[in-house]
Structures are given as structure tokens and as C-alpha cells.
Amino acid sequence: MSAHVHHVRIYYEDTDLSGVVYHANYLKYFERAREHLLGSAELVRLYDEDGIGFVVYKIAMTFRDGARLGDELEIRTTVRAGSEYRAIFDQSAWRPGASRPLVEATLDLVCVDPQNKLVPLPETVRARIAAAAPE
């Protein structure tokens, strides 16, 4: 079973005065990884041409340890279709070689039309999810 891997470098901007990464920033790293997995060109096309936004609906997240300046994190992502309407992403942030992640999260994403009404996941997104899903 293979996860999609995206690398994130930790810079000054990511830290706070406690010396580790500000907790909200892991959501940015997870979102960057999802953009790479889904393709930002397709996300923009969906939004501009079809009026469909791909939005976060639910997050469950656990923090075990904090990343530090200069760390090169691995963001590991797997994705599955939770229903016709919902893509479920399991994502975690790892220091290379660590035995467990610093942070792990499950995020449910859905698609909405310009009136913020739920619409089924578009075919292109379903195809990308199917291609990315671990065997």
C-alpha cells in the first residue's frame, strides 16, 4: 500500500515563539499535498469553468510532537471515496526515518456549487482519487 508523498521544508514563517510549528500550519501542508495529488490546474478549471469548489467539510487531527526549523517533513496521503459526495483523505506529517508521525489527520472533502449546495464529486476528481487510492 503506497501513499502519495509530498515534502515540506519548515521555515521561520512556520514556527511560533514556542520554537515549533504553529499548529494550524499542518493544515496548510496537508492542503499542499492534496493540491499536488489532485492537480491545481484541475482544481482551478473546476472552479472557473464548472463553478465547483472542493472544500474541507470535516477534520479529525492528532498532534504528537512538533516540527522544528529546518525539518524536511514527509506528508503522506491516501485517499478513498467515502460516498458519491465525499472524498476521505488520511494524511500525516513525518520526520524522515521516524517510527510514528508528528501529526495525523483524516479530512473529509466535498464539492459545492456556487450556492454552497453539495454536488456529487466530479468525474475528474473521482478518477484522480481512484488512481491515487492505495491497493
Residue position matching grid coordinates 489527520:
105
Nearer to a copy of itself, 3 or 104 (CB): 104
Annotation says 16 is catalytic: yes
Nearer to a copy of itself, 118 or 133 (CB): 118
Cell numbers at residue 127, please? 478518477
H or E element, residue 94: strand 86-94
Q: Where on the chain is the footprint of a copy of itself (CB under 8 A)?
A: 9, 11-13, 15-20, 22-25, 27-28, 31-32, 35, 40-41, 43-44, 47, 53, 55-63, 65-66, 69-70, 116
- 3-class SS of residue 24: coil
Give the Cα separation of 118 and 114 in Å (integer): 10
When the beta carbons of 3 and 103 are compared against a copy of itself, the nearer one is 103
Q: Which three cell numbers stand for residue 29?
A: 501542508
Shortest Å, Cβ 130 to a copy of itself: 23
What are the start-end ranges of the E strands in 10-85? 53-63, 72-83
Q: Catalytic pick from 14, 16, 108, 113?
A: 16
Q: What's the min distance (Å) between Cβ of 87 and a copy of itself?
A: 14
Catalytic residue numbers, as ranges: 16
